[in-house]
Structure 1
């Protein structure tokens, strides 16, 4: 089983004061924790980050990661160079503080020979909650300062794509930046300006409320859209364009617990207490029947065996996202095991 081009997600905080109604982690925001780096955690993260097979390190949170910017910059400092980082944020800081954050981030990644893409939420759920909006500010900063190590992109969970498109174009116009939108596929647009092309990724909202506006793809359509985008069948793991094999998709929680992304019923270790390495994680993927099945068998084919069966169909409708599916199935005795062919 070949594994190449891994993704490493690091959730650095559960703290968030934005208050989006859809958030699946809202119960953790007031009493939750932020990541701190022990000596062993630094050693583990350095080993995971600097492995040649890692294609991207994505820093986010079960809250707003700007609330733990110090640890984000500490993580950047663990790189030995040639790494591609991503930081997913609402960008809620006041503009002067946001610009200081960009300058510090750029200085660290340039010094190490790395890059970092800042991925800003640009949907109605986040925008209406954020006083200091960073979308126009960020592309104005890019235009004027030309930071060698930073790039920008956008993400949205709106059913109404036109909201995100109109918002971004109007926001840029307030900063004297003309932009246009190129529609790419069911999951992507591109924002085009004189200074570059900036991706807009669209995601399904997990657990949409009964009064949520229509327009989200159902789980099967969402999987088909991902397959069309990557030009191969969808399995769990880090998705790579053919002919490359897929890699591992690993997530680290604020307390240091390590999981395979989307398969978070199986804890694989903790950064603060265990030695964690890619070889150990790969052995788990190859040797654990459920994980091996999810990493090697197209998910649509696995789910087809449960066509019209309850409670599976109700769970699929509720999850609305393949990476949330295992969490839902794990709450029902025996359903996860049924995914593994006899």
Structure 2
């Protein structure tokens, strides 16, 4: 008699556990945002009182990057957990071509459906790999999702009013970079370079429901990726303080050096893809092509993203993939900018 309605009893318990995990993660993210916001207001004042203006500036940059990334990281982990728990593997096998070379452009174009930034794309790409998607296709999605989604394109059109070609140039250069990187992985990628993410808690018995998987995946991905987001924010703040402005001014006189400079700045400034267009628009001393490079490179290669990739896929992968992505994005931005801008 005690096992007469085992499934009906398990489902409410699983739903309650999943809802409780969701509430905890959301509240944790909101608490982190609130703490970081207060710290960004009070931190510089305390740093001025206790230490130096440089420490105040470092604290301001660090909290700004962290606050900017947490909401989208939460979105990404929610999508990642939902994909891992509720989407059958056969869905991806039907949507994507079996040939990885053909699956890459399809996955790259599919990046338009995720309205988030690079913080969200890493856990989602990891979840896609866990569901059997070819790494090349998942990596193309990882690069394209934060760069070509509607929110980013609308923000770019607002930041550059009356310049629709800048929006089209960003879309073309970003999608080209994502597809080329996917194809490069198909041709040259090695399995030992990529540490495939494993499911945090696979279902191995009948007592484990999909809601249990959702809860476990949500907690695992958010806590795991959140730590590397903090490390990346700290690295970006350190660079902002350590490099003097006079060093940057040297490069503005050359058109090609300015493109490379803004491509490097995109890596270290860690501006969210929803906001980087407004930063690029404010860099009026640089050419349109240089500002395009800033917007193309940033969502694909920055310090916090490198840290997230290292934590999810391994250091060997992050170093190789980020380096090549930066070079491909730079070339793509230069060619598209020369053609359209």
Shorter chain as denominator, the TM-score bin is: under 0.3
More strand by share: 1
Instruction: Name the TM-score, length of structure 1 as normaliser.
Output: 0.26
Larger Rg: 2
The structure, 1 or 2, with the larger RCO (C-alpha pairs under 8 Å, 6+ apart) is: 2
More helix by share: 2
